Structure 1
Amino acid sequence: MRWILLLLLSFVSSLSSLRILVISPTVARSHVVFMGSLADSLAEKGHTVHTIMIEVEKTDTNGTTKSDKVVFIPSTRPRSELHDLLKEDPFDESLEMLNIGVLLAIRQSLRIYAEDTVTQYDRFLKPLESPEGYDVGISENLGSLPLFLYRRLSVRRYVLASAIGLSSIMAEAMGVPMPPSYVPNPLSSRVSTTEMSIVDRARYLIDYIFAPPIYKFICKAQLDYLRQFDPDLLDVMDAKAGSKFVAVNFPLLLDHLRPYTRHVIHVGGITLPREQKEESIDKDLSSVIDRSGKGIVVISFGSLAETENLSDIHLKTFLDAFSKFPDYTFIWKFDVHKEKHVELFAGYGNVHAVRWLPQHSLLKHNKTLAFVTHCGANSVIEAASIGVPLVALPLFADQHYNGAAMLKKGTAVLLRKSNLSEAAIVEALTKVLLDERFRLNALHLSSALAKYPEDPRDRFVAMVEFVAEYGDTLDRPLRLSPLIFFNIDVILVFLLLPLILIFVLRKYCRHRMSFRMRISIFVHFLLGLDLVDALITCNRAAGNVTLPSNECTGDVCLIRKDNGAVPFYYVSSDCGEGAYFSHYPDGCYGKTSFLCVCR
């Protein structure tokens, strides 16, 4: 009997479960972990999840432990130009997301991802084809490639995922307002940490205008290649606009103040385990922590920044700054491969380099006092949830945006790689380690995140399930051109109307009306007053006419035509000498009009 019930429950569960396809490019370890967390959240609810991993960078994890199937598409090329750029000195000031060299390298890489996927499709992805297809597809930003795969693998609806917050490109595609007057571009290297200056707003306005066409250019090489196999494939912006929503890897509570729509859900924190399980700290590292004096400072600049390529000048700058705090122990995730690095670190007794560190366990350790970080989204979320203050040193892409957000929360001191010096590092560490306000703010923020009334996993799963069943009821994103969004056409009309009136007044009243009279009429017009009254008022003020009058002379008249119940006024010079002033329709030599001479 028990087996029958189990079979029935299994059958009912299979009927209600969804088939989900997750596309996870190995851009960086943090991206893989994020996409894997999305996949696992759905698998935990009983849904069938297949994950496609497209190799971009080498990674030591697939990010998911619960996917029913993981398909890995290896790279067929040597390291890309983008890889080489990112692996240079991570503190190089020229290495920015909007750098022309980086943009061209991304263009090349997007084409390579597509070629690798298409040429190996039959080997790796053909087995995923089935008549039932997939209910929902989930992918990161890979140009038009995800939509190409969705069409091949019969994915009925799809959503986007962003491991780096909501960029201006994603916002544009999803119809999310991003006013450049106060919303910074998440990929800009110059995110304002205070009220925006006119220079900041000008820069963000330029980003807002030019980012979409630049992005289309970057993705065009990939699109041209894919259209050889699917001529009807949508371009990248239209493909993104077909998404039902975008899941953003940043908590709403930490984000900058900015507008969002129902097409955006915040799932920041989804990479954190439900039950905070301690990662193991090996004996050697435990011994270092136990011997620390006042406490430890954890240092990590993420997986993309290869510290072995750090210039000797920058490396010595950090080590000299750390040596100014002999009572504290600095544990640095550093790839010590070169002999010179081993010798250099040996001269600094309070600095310990480790190739890999259990970051979560170290941040939770009661002796951890600060975290020196590049401000990747996962690192920021992890530190904020635990309550550790930061020395924020953003290096690339969204990290500047994340660091500025934590500065505004009062839990971080922000360093810029453009003015990195021993004195700046010492000053930042002094503030974070000795100013109690940073620790208290971090603990308060941690408590707020823990009690925030929305679980990112539950909301994400619920939205995916809703899209699978009712996705057709969700409106497409409202994508407005800047002309309409900013009401530029309406503003132009308002600006042109007074100019037209001024032109008419100058043309027909230039002989008899003073500048003062024209301005008065213009003001009356703007205030909505009767134009005849305005003209009479001007003439009275100028002493040029006495009303009422039986006769008037001059060559400029204001004519009133009765069009039903609505009078219409215009200026005319067709009056002649001795024009007769009359309230009656037979005045002015038989004209059906209301005349007043302007002198």
Structure 2
Amino acid sequence: MRLFYLLSVLCATGFGLKILVVNPTLGSSHVQFVSSIADTLAEAGHEVHMIVNTIDSRITKYGAKKIAKLVVIPALEENVNNNNQFVKNPFKPSNMLSFAHMNNMTKSIVQACNDIVHYYDELLKPLENEHYDIGITQLLAVYPVMILHMLKVKTTVLASANPLAPYISQTFGIPAPPSYTANPFGDVAQLNAADFSYMDRVGNFFRDIIYYTLIPMLMGRQREILATIDPTIPVTYHDLMKDVSLILVNTPPMLEFATPISHRVINIGGIAMKRDNKINPDVLEIIDKAKKGVIVVSFGTLASTQNLDEKLITSFLSAFAQFPDYEFLFKFDASDEAKQYEKLYPNVHLLKWLQQSAILGHKKTKVFVSHMGLNSFMEASTHGVPFVSIPLFSDQFYNTALAKSRGTAVYIDKMNITKSALVEALQEVLTNTSYTANARILSRQLEKFPENGTAKMIRMIEYVGEFGRLPNWDLKGIELNWFVHASYDVIVPLILVTILVFWIIYRLLKYIICYCCRKRSVKTKKE
């Protein structure tokens, strides 16, 4: 695959684009994904500049090493997003649509917009003269797209570090019916994404209504702030998205549920995956001494284990101790406590950092106990490693549903993490060979997929850089209101006409019957 990618770069069209990437720090994996896109395009011979809008102040390494210019917009004060419930204690109940989360998200976005206004003249205004051909950003909020508009970028490309969400699909007029289209941000409700029940579909229906209502509302507040600099920012969400040419989605086709797409959707899953297979000698020593194999345990960069209570930690460690022939590599943040625990549980190794992809690729790795973040899901699937899945929030439940549908995962509810539940799940994956067999099949399917997403992304970016956004790719549905889009303008009249026809038939039959009855009655009286 790497050779194919390099050949595609050598065969590029030969003209260099000037590209601007807007990369808000809304989670380490999101930042790394967008930075990987920036570096890949820079390697392909294009001049890439990147704006980093500071939201999560803990993220200080942005990952982009090949870009020509970096502009960092500091936060005027600590963003409220740093204190959301998912960061404080990810093992507590979560709801992406709860009032508390939505209120927190709104405040976070408002803070980010105020930061941009404050630093615009100093840091961003000079970029207006760069005449960028293409702008790339995520759509976790609308204001990054507004920044591209303010800087007069010719063509916009969206990037999604998560699976394609229905509200993004609708941006392109792509049908996303809640009857069978899962919403990656639907939390625990998406665990049945492979086969929705009636109540699941009811939930999807109302969840979509909430999203489609909230996005324009949030856009209005963001525009209100940024319009103090540029009053020409489009007023409606639809008008703001008119210049969008492509959307780059961080999933390979083999790790997606079947769903409607369009030519504008480019799957580039794995672009941020680390290719380094070298493992630190001290970790390799642990792996080598494992009698039956290694089990990797990680809950990602956003979820800190520092906030776990003693009971939960003990549940994990005591469960792992039941498998003395396996060595457990546990990404664990609290180093002082780690030494204490390692003395009590000799087959458990608590490490501040894991070379996750390299360790998952080692032949002795048997199981991955994971939160099922998308990058973790892709890495383990690429290496053919099955899961014990403990999703915490957001698209992790959706990814779990995907893994279960492929037969590569056992699910544990994060609200029911006990020693017995963990032992049972690990025992199932270790003894039931179907999980490993299915994981290896999926690994081969990913490896042999006949299209390279990275190479296609480069070609398509260059294509729209030369020819613009290609309006002939617009689906007609983008211009239709919901009533016409769902064919209610056809269905309702047909129903009314049908009712009218039956009513007329009913009246005619009634008239005929009454007429015949009256005639018979008159005849009887005469006789």
Contact 1:176 / 1:261 at 8 angstroms: preserved in 2?
A: yes
TM-score (ref. length: structure 2): 0.89
Letter in 2 for 1:271: A
Aligned pairs, number: 505
SS of 2:255's partner is coil
Deviation at 1:338, TM superposition (A): 5.8
SS of 1:24's partner is strand
What is aligned with 1:229?
229
What is aligned with 1:327?
325
Match of residue 405, structure 2, among 408, 419, 422: 408
User: Structure 1 residues 296 and 196 mapped into 2: Cα distance closer, same or farther (>3 Å)?
Assistant: same
- Higher mean Cα deviation, 288-297 or 363-372? 288-297
In the alignment, does 2:346 pair up with 1:349? yes
TM-score (ref. length: structure 1): 0.79
Deviation at 1:252, TM superposition (A): 0.9
In the alignment, does 2:122 pair up with 1:123? yes
In the alignment, does 2:434 pair up with 1:437? yes
Deviation at 1:554, TM superposition (A): 8.8
User: Structure 1 residues 355 and 164 mapped into 2: Cα distance closer, same or farther (>3 Å)?
Assistant: same
Cα distance in 1, alignment partners of residues 505 and 13 from structure 2: 79
* Higher gyration radius (CA): 1
Cα distance in 1, alignment partners of residues 397 and 95 from structure 2: 10
| Identical residues among aligned pairs (%) | 34
User: Structure 1 residues 286 and 445 mapped into 2: Cα distance closer, same or farther (>3 Å)?
Assistant: same
What is aligned with 1:180?
178
CA deviation string 1:136-192 (max 9, x = no partner): 000011533223322332211111000012112211212111121111111111111
Q: Cα RMSD over matched residues?
A: 2.5
Matches within 5 A, 1:442-457: 442-457=439-454
Match of residue 364, structure 2, among 362, 367, 370: 367
Deviation at 1:415, TM superposition (A): 2.1
SS of 1:225's partner is helix
Runs of 4+ in 1 over 4 A off after TM superposition: 505-512, 552-555
Contact 1:106 / 1:218 at 8 angstroms: preserved in 2?
A: no
User: Structure 1 residues 159 and 199 mapped into 2: Cα distance closer, same or farther (>3 Å)?
Assistant: same
In the alignment, does 2:377 pair up with 1:380? yes
SS of 2:84's partner is helix
Cα distance in 1, alignment partners of residues 263 and 14 from structure 2: 29
Letter in 2 for 1:188: G
Cα distance in 2, alignment partners of residues 484 and 178 from structure 1: 15
Contact 1:50 / 1:68 at 8 angstroms: preserved in 2?
A: yes
SS of 1:53's partner is strand
Cα distance in 1, alignment partners of residues 105 and 220 from structure 2: 11
Deviation at 1:215, TM superposition (A): 2.2
Matches within 5 A, 1:155-170: 155-170=153-168
Cα distance in 1, alignment partners of residues 61 and 77 from structure 2: 20
Letter in 2 for 1:420: I
Match of residue 311, structure 2, among 303, 310, 313: 313
What is aligned with 1:563?
none
SS of 2:133's partner is strand
Matches within 5 A, 1:20-419: 20-57=19-56, 58-81=58-81, 83-93=83-93, 95-130=94-129, 132-189=130-187, 190-191=189-190, 192-234=192-234, 235-272=236-273, 276-283=275-282, 285-337=283-335, 339=337, 342-419=339-416
SS of 1:125's partner is helix
Cα distance in 2, alignment partners of residues 325 and 15 from structure 1: 57
Cα distance in 2, alignment partners of residues 508 and 56 from structure 1: 71
Letter in 1 for 2:88: E
Deviation at 1:305, TM superposition (A): 0.4
CA deviation string 1:180-208 (max 9, x = no partner): 11111111111115422111111112222
SS of 1:391's partner is strand
Contact 1:82 / 1:106 at 8 angstroms: preserved in 2?
A: no
Matches within 5 A, 1:453-532: 453-475=450-472, 476-477=474-475, 478-479=477-478, 480-505=480-505, 510=510, 513=513
Contact 2:143 / 2:219 at 8 angstroms: preserved in 1?
A: no
Cα distance in 1, alignment partners of residues 14 and 327 from structure 2: 56
Deviation at 1:278, TM superposition (A): 2.1
Relative contact order, higher structure (CA 8 A, sep 6+): 2
Cα distance in 1, alignment partners of residues 278 and 59 from structure 2: 19
Contact 2:273 / 2:357 at 8 angstroms: preserved in 1?
A: no
Cα distance in 2, alignment partners of residues 360 and 60 from structure 1: 22
Contact 1:40 / 1:67 at 8 angstroms: preserved in 2?
A: yes
Structure number with higher helix proportion: 2
Contact 2:162 / 2:249 at 8 angstroms: preserved in 1?
A: yes
Cα distance in 1, alignment partners of residues 400 and 13 from structure 2: 44
Deviation at 1:461, TM superposition (A): 0.7
Cα distance in 1, alignment partners of residues 231 and 140 from structure 2: 18
